Amino acid sequence: MKKVYLSIFIIGLGSSLSFGQYAPKPITSNNMSKVAPKELSNAPVAKTLGTQFWLDDFSAPGTWSIDNSGQPGGAFGWTVDAVNDGWWSGSPINSTSDGNFAELSNGDAQAGTQTLGVVYTLTTAAPIDLIANGTNVTLDFLQFGARFNDLQEIQVSTDGTNFTTVGDNNDAPVLSASGGAPYANPTSKSINLATALAGATQVWIRFRWTTNFPAAATNPNVWITYGWYIDDVSLTTNAEYDLAVTSTYWGTAGLNYYQIPLTQVAPIDFSSNVTNGGTLSMTNATLNVDINSGVYTGTSVGSTIPSLASDSLFATVPFTPTANGTYNVTRTITTAVADDVPSNNAMAPISFTVNNYIYARDNNVLAGSTSNGTDGFETGNLFDIWADQTCLGLNVRLKGGAGETTVGTEIYAKIYSIDPTTGDFIFAGESLPLIVATSNLNTNLLMKMIDPVDLLANNTYLAVVGSYTPGLAVANAGTSEPQTSFLLDAATSTWFYQTETPYVRFNFDPSLGVDENTSAVTIGNIFPNPTSGETTINYSLANASAVNVEVVDITGKVVYSLDNGTEVAGAHNVAFNAASFSNGVYYVTISTDEATVTKKFIKK
């Protein structure tokens, strides 16, 4: 399937502004290099672990040089002392060295005192000698804080003048009104410097802070920071064997699902990107995937990865579930020799389910919510459709509590298709509006479509919940790759992407289309809708009855009629060819001895 992604925009969520950040589409097996199998070596190899040769715990502040863009320090810029200056955290970084630490601040976001147009740097005052230990080294440090619209960079220089960025914190989630989380206190970060230092005899280390959105530099919100704390900075020689997992992917055509209807099952790929940070080659590096203890076992082609090189490992055979149930996935990396640092290639387990009707991108682990300050909005997720399916409703979760969804807010659910040429979202169907009651909060809420929406195979759709006014907060559960979950700002009619996954799900239960009041006749789906030719109308009778079918255009002109005579109770359908109809809106009416019902369809 061709994937269609929208342009990248900056998004502001009321006073808690957070901006979407670009990242590439997840890697799939179609764009990974394939490496031939390598011969295994059975001979044991001696191990050499890394040795720490430089450590600074900020006990001597003069070891570091500070440039605070003319700001006084303290609440603005870098400081090195034992005082917690920031507005956000009640306590500083937790580190084994205690005492002094480095801290970055830029005013008080609650008071709106942040300074604009600044770059704050913290740099080793003197170079660190590399002659005795070489350049195959790793930088380690402890950090604490959170990311908002910050650019928190780690840089090195081999001449004290020209600095190269070797790492940042852009992989951490944004902490905002939409969700996210601060860094654990403390978080350990490691950066292999071997490539950046090739041939060098000395190195300067720098921690640099500024906005991550210089194009919006006049907006005070892009200069807000929760703070960035640093302690216990060290350099360590690299181990001989150290294969690290840098990213992982699982899913189908770039999207992963935690609940999959059996009708929408498609092959699921698994892959991992790895980097050899050790000094020696790693042979027969292999990704191993196990599902439900042997229901599926997948492996990648064994790869030899030279020192400082990277590769993509992917299971050569995808997994296609064939039955309903829960599927528990474990993934490991193996190599011909034992990894000296196995902790950095561990991958979290995955669990997903195959069921009858529910299609869900969220992982059901609730964390935060999506709201839009004083503006109305819509939020939801992309879904790939692999077989024709009729959708009768969406399941959503509204977050209740202080500052969340307001009882009395009017909400709705919508489905959009995607224009394959422009990437625009095209309205496909919606639910009746719902006035939120207390019973609707913090629960799996079903919102039925006014008319069934026919989803066509090999197309992508967007399912959303929204409100034209403030007062809606949609629960988040899990994270999304950029440009796969979206938010529409009602005030500007502009779509933005978000990296939290809103709790918005397709529900394909066909019983949702049955009239709960057991009326004498109900119309099910009109398929396809929109139509351009042969059209089928499904309907159901509660009792045996004479049946008449009539189609009229928007002016009331009858364009098709059929007297079906007397039919027995139960499900029926009628087909007709709409090819000769003019493009536009039409209404089909089914009349019986007991009742008359009407539904809309579109001829295109």
C-beta of residue 469 within 8 angstroms of C-beta of residue 372: no
Q: Is the pLDDT of residue 29 over 50?
A: no
What's the whole-number mean pLDDT along residues 559-580? 92
Tens-digit pLDDT profile for residues 336-370:
999 999 999 999 999 999 999 999 999 999 988 99
| Calpha distance 466→197 (Å, rounded) | 51
Tens-digit pLDDT profile for residues 465-514:
999 999 999 999 999 998 999 999 999 999 998 989 999 999 998 767 54
Can you read off the two tokens belonging to residue 55?
């450590």
What is the pLDDT at residue 49? 73
What's the whole-number mean pLDDT along residues 231-242? 96
Q: Is the pLDDT of residue 2 over 70?
A: no
Q: Any idea which of 6-10, 137-141, 259-263 has the lowest mean pLDDT?
A: 6-10
Q: Is the pLDDT of residue 37 over 50?
A: no
What's the whole-number mean pLDDT along residues 207-230? 96
| Calpha distance 586→604 (Å, rounded) | 11
Length of the chain: 604
CB neighbour class for 184 (10 Å; exposed up to 12, middle 13-18, buried from 19): exposed
| Calpha distance 72→343 (Å, rounded) | 41
C-beta of residue 177 within 8 angstroms of C-beta of residue 18: yes
What is the pLDDT at residue 592? 87
Q: Is the pLDDT of residue 524 over 50?
A: yes
What is the pLDDT at residue 446? 95
What is the pLDDT at residue 488? 94
Instruction: Cis check for the bond before 186: say yes or no (omega within 30 of 0).
Output: yes
Q: Is the pLDDT of residue 41 over 80?
A: no
What is the pLDDT at residue 4? 28
Classified as helix, coil or strand, 512 is helix
Q: What is the pTM of this model?
A: 0.72
Q: Is the pLDDT of residue 9 over 80?
A: no
C-beta of residue 480 within 8 angstroms of C-beta of residue 498: yes
What is the pLDDT at residue 594? 82
Q: What confidence category does residue 519 fall into, taking pLDDT thresholds of 50, 70 and 90?
A: low
Q: Is the pLDDT of residue 180 over 80?
A: no
Neighbours of 115 (CB within 10 A): 17
Classified as helix, coil or strand, 510 is helix
Q: Is the pLDDT of residue 46 over 60?
A: no
- Number of DSSP helices (H) and strands (E) in the chain, helices first: 0, 42
What is the pLDDT at residue 513? 58
Contacts of 366 (CB under 8 A, 6+ apart): 397, 399, 475, 476, 477, 503
What's the whole-number mean pLDDT along residues 200-219? 96
| Calpha distance 121→86 (Å, rounded) | 17
Amino acid letter at 39? Answer: E
Q: Any idea which of 72-76, 521-525, 560-564 has the lowest mean pLDDT?
A: 521-525
What is the pLDDT at residue 599? 82
What's the whole-number mean pLDDT along residues 212-236? 96
Tens-digit pLDDT profile for residues 49-101:
789 999 999 999 999 999 999 999 899 999 999 999 999 999 999 998 889 99
Q: What confidence category does residue 313 fall into, taking pLDDT thresholds of 50, 70 and 90?
A: very high
Q: Locate tokens 């191993």: which residue?
A: 288
Can you read off the two tokens belonging to residue 398?
């509204």
What's the whole-number mean pLDDT along residues 21-30? 27
For β-strands 269-276 and 310-314, DSSP reports them as: antiparallel
Strand boundaries in 90-157, DSSP class E: 101-106, 120-124, 128-129, 137-145, 150-157
| Calpha distance 329→351 (Å, rounded) | 6
Q: What is the largest CA-CA distance in the chain?
A: 97
| Calpha distance 299→334 (Å, rounded) | 10
| Calpha distance 225→86 (Å, rounded) | 9
What's the whole-number mean pLDDT along residues 531-550? 91
Q: Is the pLDDT of residue 325 over 90?
A: yes
C-beta of residue 230 within 8 angstroms of C-beta of residue 143: yes
| Calpha distance 390→220 (Å, rounded) | 46
Can you read off the two tokens belonging to residue 432?
């009746």
The pLDDT > 90 percentage for the chain reads 75
Handedness of CA 109, 113, 118, 124 (dihedral sign): negative
Report the candidate in 499, 463, 459, 501 with the shortest Cα–Cα distance to residue 483: 499
| Calpha distance 375→372 (Å, rounded) | 6
Which backbone phi and psi does 201 adopt, to 5 degrees?
Answer: -115, -10
Q: Any idea which of 272-286, 379-393, 517-531 has the lowest mean pLDDT?
A: 517-531
Cα 163-104-244 angle, rounded to 5 deg: 60
Query: 410-428: b or e for each residue (b if 16 or more CB lie within 10 Å)?
Result: ebbbbbbbbeeeeeebeeb
Compute the mean pLDDT over every residue in the chain, rounded to the nearest whole number.
88
What's the whole-number mean pLDDT along residues 102-108? 97
Neighbours of 586 (CB within 10 A): 23
Q: Is the pLDDT of residue 38 over 80?
A: no
State the alpha helices, DSSP H only, in 96-186: none
Tens-digit pLDDT profile for residues 286-298:
999 999 999 999 9
Classified as helix, coil or strand, 529 is coil
- What end-to-end distance do the CA atoms of the chain give, in Å? 23
| Calpha distance 313→290 (Å, rounded) | 15
Q: Is the pLDDT of residue 11 over 90?
A: no
Q: Any idea which of 231-240, 304-313, 453-462, 583-592 has the lowest mean pLDDT?
A: 583-592
Q: Is the pLDDT of residue 119 over 70?
A: yes
| Calpha distance 330→301 (Å, rounded) | 18
Which backbone phi and psi does 348 adopt, to 5 degrees?
Answer: -65, 145
Residue 437 vs residues 411, 433, 440, 546: alpha-carbon distances, Å? 11, 13, 5, 42
What is the pLDDT at residue 176? 78
What is the pLDDT at residue 384? 98
CB neighbour class for 36 (10 Å; exposed up to 12, middle 13-18, buried from 19): exposed
What is the pLDDT at residue 8? 27
What is the pLDDT at residue 188? 95
What is the pLDDT at residue 165? 98
Q: Any idea which of 438-447, 459-468, 538-547 has the lowest mean pLDDT?
A: 538-547
Tens-digit pLDDT profile for residues 248-277:
999 999 999 999 999 999 999 999 999 999
Classified as helix, coil or strand, 67 is strand
- Compute, in degrees rounded to 10, the torsion defined by CA atoms 139, 141, 147, 149: -50
Which backbone phi and psi does 223 adopt, to 5 degrees?
Answer: -105, 10
Q: Is the pLDDT of residue 42 over 60?
A: no
Q: Any idea which of 44-53, 111-120, 471-480 has the lowest mean pLDDT?
A: 44-53
Q: What confidence category does residue 40 fall into, taking pLDDT thresholds of 50, 70 and 90?
A: very low
CA 51 to chain centre: 38
What's the whole-number mean pLDDT along residues 178-182? 77
| Calpha distance 505→376 (Å, rounded) | 20
**Domains recognised in the chain with CATH numbers:** 52-237 (2.60.120.200), 243-355 (2.60.40.10), 361-507 (2.60.120), 515-603 (2.60.40.2550)
| Calpha distance 417→425 (Å, rounded) | 6
Give the up-direction half-sphere exposure of residue 193: CA atoms within 13 A in the CB hemisphere: 31
C-beta of residue 540 within 8 angstroms of C-beta of residue 571: yes
Report the candidate in 588, 478, 497, 583 with the shortest Cα–Cα distance to residue 533: 583
What is the pLDDT at residue 80? 97
